[in-house]
Chains A and B, each alone.
Chain A
């Protein structure tokens, strides 16, 4: 149960607001002996698991730290290359912490743009006339709900599949946007929203929707 995050996309496909509510952390630490029982690879300048799921470590998880030293990109904080270090038998046993990679701001902007185009393509591929764009995507782990206003702003919420009350929350978000972003004289339209009142009200609305959704089901 829960609301994971909120995205607001302007009519050009740019991300103008993003808020992460509560994203569950998946982190597993395990001590390994030589040779490593899994295949690692470098992907997007991160060391990720390519093959060999075990003990809660899944394919796609990245290396977060080795022996308690945090990883930055493909190197550790002390400058050693992770792949190189793990290939040497002398360094074993090692304790490696794995976790699901979190989205960086750049990735979020990219995903928002991607959703913007998918929204338009879905509308073109519709077997029925006068279709809107994507209103919802369901996967086994989350549900995405989107509403586009007449002015072309998209409000997207990512929630747990069991969460209810999406439409109410989307409506509330639009209201908050109209009240606290658009009426703010320092806010220029189509630009990222940096208004304190907007932040606090949006967070309250999300928390409220999360609780109401809990009681509704």
Chain B
């Protein structure tokens, strides 16, 4: 099990934070373009799912998988989007994504008066806390390679 990368988007579609741990493949476009593409994909998938759903939805889109990775998606009611890419063996990690929001984002970004809302997160404290948290997860099993 591994964690590849994490994106945090705000409700306007700005990529607030991006970090990668075990990413092996770059998309071949510059990072800002990649964030836009990612946000566009999520936005479309959300609308796709809400229309495709045969019954009324509550949480909506949760995860997506290809033959190489699984994308986990969590959106707060305020529109913040957390996207974590992991390998396929990872199950439902909604709680983990919620924890990233509640115990890291809220604590070290929202409660930090120097972090302006809607701006890219530059707080070093947030970055280290998040890194520690993700590295401490049971799904983050570092491979010796």
Contacts and interface: CB of A to CB of B under 8 A. Distances in A.
B117 interface: no
Contacts of B85: 127
Contact of A137 (B20, B25, B61): B61
A141 B50 CA distance: 10
A123 B51 contact: no
A132 B25 CA distance: 13
Given A125-B34, A127-B20, A133 B66 contact: yes
Which size bracket describes the interface of A in this complex? 35 or more
Interface residues of B, number: 41
Contacts of B49: 137, 139, 142
Sort A-B residue pairs by CB-CB distance and give the 3 closest, nearest first. A127-B4, A131-B68, A128-B68
Interface of A: 4-5, 23-24, 26, 58, 60, 100, 103, 107, 111, 114-115, 117-118, 121-142, 144, 158
11 contacts: A24-B54, A24-B55, A115-B48, A117-B44, A118-B45, A122-B41, A124-B37, A127-B25, A137-B63, A138-B62, A139-B62
Given A132-B66, A142-B55, 16 more contacts: A58-B56, A100-B55, A124-B27, A127-B4, A127-B20, A127-B23, A128-B25, A129-B25, A131-B67, A131-B69, A135-B65, A138-B63, A139-B49, A140-B58, A141-B54, A158-B54
